[in-house]
A and B are shown apart, each in its own frame.
Chain A
Amino acid sequence: MLEIRNLHARIAADGTEIIRGLNLTVKAGEVAAVMGPNGSGKSTLSYILSGREDYEVTEGDILYNGESILELDPSERAAKGIFLAFQYPVEIPGVATMQFLKVAMNEQRKFRGEDELSTPDFIRRVKEAAASLQINPDMLKRPLNVGFSGGEKKRAEILQMALLEPKLCVLDETDSGLDIDALRIVADGVNALRSPDRAVIVITHYQRLLEYIVPDSVHVLYRGQIIKSGDKSLALDLEANGYADIIDAAA
């Protein structure tokens, strides 16, 4: 589903190179964890996948279902099924969450040449998804992410993911700022979306989240490269022994 080939990327404003020859393949149905110490390029990877224009790809390619997505703008990538759950979901004052969801769902449908959702159909879908994530419907009347607690913001991200039905989900540090109950709800939400035709990339610093979202593969990102890949035992190994050994071994 996703193939990243020898990717090099830098910050557009000052030219700092962040991603330096990254290779990663994620198959449909797979849950891949990308782990790494602070500053290794984890969040940058999520931004580059979703097309944030603050970064420039200087070399290599990103293939999504066999097609390069580098020329696509972020909304086109999203409509094609790439979803990023933000580490820090953005507040948009004055725009009710419901309104936002409706615009996003319908714009994506429009892009794919599908009919807009009818209002009752839309409301039904939102209600169902909200209930499964234990989201109070009142929260959806409030402006998007404005005044939401950390846990509410992350749940709202997963709600959007459930409603937009993406094919490739990128979760950027979704566990940060969550207490154990919220973590469980969010993880259940993600697990419910696991399916043979959907891939998930879980970007995380700690192993904790992976206890709840058990990955099929684990990749260690360091200085803009994947320096080691393995199965879920690699995450446990990292938890016990830290990154130092793997970094030394790769050096």
Chain B
Amino acid sequence: MAAVQETIDQVALIDVDQYKYGFETKIEMDKAPKGLSEEIIRFISAKKNEPDWMLEWRLEAYQRWLTLEEPTWARVNYPKIDFNEIYFYAAPKSTPGPTSIDDVDPEILKVYEKLGIPLREQEILAGVKTPRIAVDAVFDSVSVVTTFKEELKKAGVIFMSISEAIREHPDLVKKYLGTVVPTTDNYYATLNSAVFTDGSFVFVPKGVRCPMELSTYFRINEKGTGQFERTLIIAEDSAYVSYLEGCTAPQRDENQLHAAVVELVALDDAEIKYSTVQNWYPGDKNGKGGIYNFVTKRGDCRGKNSKISWTQVETGSAITWKYPSCILRGDGSRGEFYSIAVSNGHQQIDSGTKMIHLGKNTSSRIVSKGIAAGVSQNTYRGQVSTHRKAENARNFTQCDSLLIGDKCGAHTVPYIEARNSSAQFEHEATTSKISEDQLFYCLQRGIPTEAAIALIVNGFVKEVIQELPMEFAVEAQKLIGISLEGSVG
């Protein structure tokens, strides 16, 4: 009893301010005026030199957005957002858009260095141990650089910022943008469609296995801005790509909004693996500040035997509201969702997935591990449904929650909808605390409390960690430790 109590006390004392990515960099910014209006949208579109069709698309979404109301069904509480107080566009003056590495403002390069994200290809190549990863670096509203573009191009892979893609590959963008998450989808997706500023675009053509990991690193730096990124990934027949996103932000007393839309399209026999390590600033120990992370992520397994796999490690943000989902349209397609959601301090998480079985012989797997500490609230919300014609749909869901301390809450809200007699769904959920027996056993072997808890928690999330690309698995384990700092070393 006492050992666990001690842990709880330590967690209670945590200063969430130990967030180590909370530094701010002074960089001169070019900003749109505060607030949202048609003029602002025209301003953004003009800044990006967008074609008319893109502007039209944005304006239509904006009109739609004006008719919508903010959703209230998630188990999260926050004061109403004043959209007139947000800067919807902020770009470094020195680097107003994607450029070559030599032209990126050295101050910005320093930011990424500090974050441990190497952007210079030669540096990456020089590192013997680190595997090569292509990075698209998004700084507030713009992508500043995308690495390994040329090499990827040789393999036929397009990897660039979405702003560039709109200009350079309009046909591809037009064909796929908004086909997975329509502009009318939901309040924040519609808002994103109107104002998105940057994000990544990936196109892997037929039969190509992307030769390296792709990743985007999102950094919110400027005060008072919202980040609205838009990512679109297409894997043509038999293509494969593994993509990772990371995110951090400075520590500030105000709340900042991050409303992203990610769309994935997998055609016949294609596979997309999408991993997220989300570490936005979570706010301080009193719940002040932090990012509102309201995100719509959806993958469309459009082709037969296609596969989309989402893996997320959610440790940051004051509020997280995201449900990376799979539409299993193609016969034989497969969707996966692996999630670790750690909440501490005053954080609120309402996250999960949707697996929509439409095609025949589709299967899905959900493994969710929630860890709640401090006075946080951690909710898993997930839907599994079969269409009437979706013969032989299979789902397996395992959803476990761990509570550290008695001031937090862990909640599980699954929606299971079977409409075909051949469907087989299995759903299991558990909620418990770290067992006294496990803890004592570790202590008796000479492992001190903090290390013991780290060991047990890492065991608890193991199944999900295994799904991350190797080089990020270690990073994620450390991050989980830091998020529970005070109890876990």
B102 to chain A, nearest CB (A): 41
B459 and A92 within 8 A (CB)? yes
| Chain B CB within 8 A of A187 CB | no
Cα of A100 to Cα of B456 in the assembled complex, Å: 10
A103 and B455 within 8 A (CB)? yes
Tell me whether A75 and B459 are in contact in the complex, defined as CB-CB below 8 angstroms, given that A54-B436, A90-B438, A103-B451 are known contacts. no
B444 and A74 within 8 A (CB)? yes
Against B, the Cβ 8 Å flags (1 = close, 0 = not) of A200-213 are: 00000000000000
Which residue of chain B lies nearest to A81 when distances are taken between CB atoms in the complex?
A: B446
In the complex, what residues of A have CB within 8 A of residue B436's CB? 54
Cα of A73 to Cα of B447 in the assembled complex, Å: 11
Cα of A95 to Cα of B459 in the assembled complex, Å: 5
In the complex, what residues of A have CB within 8 A of residue B111's CB? none
Q: Which of B446, B449, B463 is the one whose CB lies under 8 Å from A104?
A: B446
| Chain B CB within 8 A of A60 CB | no
Tell me whether A94 and B443 are in contact in the complex, defined as CB-CB below 8 angstroms, given that A54-B1, A75-B448, A103-B455 are known contacts. no
Cα of A103 to Cα of B454 in the assembled complex, Å: 11
B446 and A94 within 8 A (CB)? no
Tell me whether A95 and B1 are in contact in the complex, defined as CB-CB below 8 angstroms, given that A75-B446, A89-B441 are known contacts. no
B459 and A13 within 8 A (CB)? no
| Chain B CB within 8 A of A44 CB | no
B460 and A107 within 8 A (CB)? no
Against B, the Cβ 8 Å flags (1 = close, 0 = not) of A105-128 are: 001100100000000000000000
Tell me whether A75 and B443 are in contact in the complex, defined as CB-CB below 8 angstroms, given that A53-B2, A93-B459, A95-B458 are known contacts. yes
How big is chain A's contact interface, by range? 20 to 34
| Chain B CB within 8 A of A86 CB | yes
A82 to chain B, nearest CB (A): 8
Which residue of chain B lies nearest to A73 when distances are taken between CB atoms in the complex?
A: B443
Which residue of chain A lies nearest to B459 when distances are taken between CB atoms in the complex?
A: A94
B455 and A95 within 8 A (CB)? yes
| Chain A CB within 8 A of B3 CB | yes
Which residue of chain B lies nearest to A74 when distances are taken between CB atoms in the complex?
A: B443
B448 and A107 within 8 A (CB)? yes
Tell me whether A92 and B1 are in contact in the complex, defined as CB-CB below 8 angstroms, given that A75-B446, A103-B447, A104-B446 are known contacts. no
Which residue of chain B lies nearest to A82 when distances are taken between CB atoms in the complex?
A: B444
Which residue of chain A lies nearest to B443 when distances are taken between CB atoms in the complex?
A: A74
Cα of A100 to Cα of B451 in the assembled complex, Å: 11
Cα of A53 to Cα of B456 in the assembled complex, Å: 19
A74 and B440 within 8 A (CB)? yes
Which residue of chain A lies nearest to B5 when distances are taken between CB atoms in the complex?
A: A53
B441 and A143 within 8 A (CB)? no
Which residue of chain A lies nearest to B447 when distances are taken between CB atoms in the complex?
A: A107
In the complex, what residues of B have CB within 8 A of residue A104's CB? 442, 445-447
A194 to chain B, nearest CB (A): 21
| Chain B CB within 8 A of A19 CB | no
Which residue of chain B lies nearest to A54 when distances are taken between CB atoms in the complex?
A: B1
| Chain A CB within 8 A of B462 CB | yes
Against A, the Cβ 8 Å flags (1 = close, 0 = not) of B1-28 are: 1110000000000000000000000000
| Chain B CB within 8 A of A45 CB | no
| Chain A CB within 8 A of B137 CB | no
| Chain B CB within 8 A of A84 CB | yes
Interface residues of B, dominant DSSP: helix
| Chain A CB within 8 A of B437 CB | yes
| Chain A CB within 8 A of B244 CB | no
| Chain A CB within 8 A of B461 CB | yes
In the complex, what residues of A have CB within 8 A of residue B444's CB? 50-51, 74-75, 77-78, 83-84, 86
Q: Which of A51, A73, A94, A160 is the one whose CB lies under 8 Å from B445?
A: A160
Cα of A73 to Cα of B440 in the assembled complex, Å: 10
B461 and A94 within 8 A (CB)? yes
B1 and A53 within 8 A (CB)? yes
A5 to chain B, nearest CB (A): 23
Which residue of chain B lies nearest to A163 when distances are taken between CB atoms in the complex?
A: B445
How big is chain B's contact interface, by range? 20 to 34
A31 to chain B, nearest CB (A): 21
A173 to chain B, nearest CB (A): 16
A12 and B456 within 8 A (CB)? no
Cα of A164 to Cα of B447 in the assembled complex, Å: 12
Cα of A117 to Cα of B463 in the assembled complex, Å: 27
Cα of A108 to Cα of B448 in the assembled complex, Å: 9
In the complex, what residues of B have CB within 8 A of residue A107's CB? 446-448, 451
A-facing residues in B144-161 (Cβ within 8 Å): none
B-facing residues in A53-97 (Cβ within 8 Å): 53-54, 73-75, 77-79, 83-84, 86, 89-95
In the complex, what residues of B have CB within 8 A of residue A54's CB? 1, 436
Against A, the Cβ 8 Å flags (1 = close, 0 = not) of B158-199 are: 000000000000000000000000000000000000000000
| Chain B CB within 8 A of A52 CB | yes
Cα of A108 to Cα of B444 in the assembled complex, Å: 11
Max chain A CB contacts within 10 Å: which of B455, B462, B463?
A: B455
A152 to chain B, nearest CB (A): 16
Cα of A92 to Cα of B440 in the assembled complex, Å: 12
B448 and A52 within 8 A (CB)? no
B441 and A90 within 8 A (CB)? yes
Q: Which of B1, B437, B461 is the one whose CB lies under 8 Å from A90?
A: B437
B445 and A52 within 8 A (CB)? no
Which residue of chain A lies nearest to B460 when distances are taken between CB atoms in the complex?
A: A94
B18 to chain A, nearest CB (A): 23
In the complex, what residues of A have CB within 8 A of residue B448's CB? 73, 75, 107
B65 to chain A, nearest CB (A): 43
A108 and B446 within 8 A (CB)? yes
Cα of A200 to Cα of B181 in the assembled complex, Å: 67
Tell me whether A94 and B462 are in contact in the complex, defined as CB-CB below 8 angstroms, given that A73-B443, A89-B441, A103-B447 are known contacts. yes
Which residue of chain A lies nearest to B2 when distances are taken between CB atoms in the complex?
A: A53
Q: Which of B440, B449, B451, B456 is the one whose CB lies under 8 Å from A52?
A: B440
A100 and B2 within 8 A (CB)? no
Max chain B CB contacts within 10 Å: which of A53, A78, A160?
A: A53
In the complex, what residues of B have CB within 8 A of residue A91's CB? 438
Which residue of chain B lies nearest to A109 when distances are taken between CB atoms in the complex?
A: B446
A-facing residues in B409-444 (Cβ within 8 Å): 435-438, 440-444
What are the 9 closest A-B residue pairs judged by CB atoms, nearest first?
A: A94-B459, A94-B462, A78-B446, A74-B443, A95-B459, A108-B446, A104-B445, A53-B2, A90-B441
Can you name 18 extra interface pairs (CB under 8 A) apart from A51-B443, A143-B459?
A13-B1, A53-B1, A73-B3, A75-B442, A75-B444, A77-B444, A83-B444, A90-B435, A90-B437, A90-B438, A92-B456, A93-B459, A93-B462, A94-B461, A100-B442, A100-B445, A104-B447, A108-B446
Binding site for B on A (CB under 8 A): 12-13, 50-54, 73-75, 77-79, 83-84, 86, 89-95, 99-100, 103-104, 107-108, 111, 143, 160, 164
The contact sample of 10 A-B pairs, CB cut-off 8 A, is: A13-B1, A51-B444, A52-B440, A78-B445, A86-B441, A90-B438, A92-B438, A93-B462, A94-B462, A107-B451
